[in-house]
Amino acid sequence: MTHDYRYDDPDFIYTDPATGVLRNKLGITDQATLSSTEALETAARLAELGRHPIQVKSALSLLTIHRALFANLYEWAGQLRRVEISKQGKQFLIVAAFSTGFAHVDALIGAYRQADNTVPAVARHLAEILDSINFLHPFREGNGRTQREFVRTLALERGYRLSLNPPTDKTFMSDTCRAR
From the CB of residue 23, how many other CB atoms can be counted at a distance below 10 Å? Answer: 17
Q: 178 falls in which pLDDT band (50, 70, 90)? A: very low
Question: How many whole angstroms separate alpha carbon 100 and alpha carbon 138?
Answer: 12
Q: What is the CATH number of the domain that holds 61?
A: 1.10.3290.10
Return the exposure string of 93-123: e unless at least 16 CB atoms fall within 10 Å of the residue's CB, then b.
Answer: beeeebeebbebbeebbeebeeeeeeeeebe
Give the total number of structural domains in the chain. 1
Residue 125: the pLDDT is 98
Helix (H) or strand (E) segment spanning residue 104: helix 98-114
Question: How many whole angstroms separate alpha carbon 180 and alpha carbon 178?
Answer: 6
Q: pLDDT tens-digit profile of 23-80? A: 999 999 999 999 999 999 999 999 999 999 999 999 999 999 999 999 999 999 999 9
User: Where does residue 20 fall: left (phi above 0), alpha (psi -120 to 50 degrees), or beta otherwise?
Assistant: left
Domain extent for 70? 5-179
Give the three-state DSSP class for 54: coil
Question: How many whole angstroms separate alpha carbon 124 and alpha carbon 20?
Answer: 39
Q: pLDDT tens-digit profile of 103-136? A: 999 999 999 999 999 999 999 999 999 999 999 9
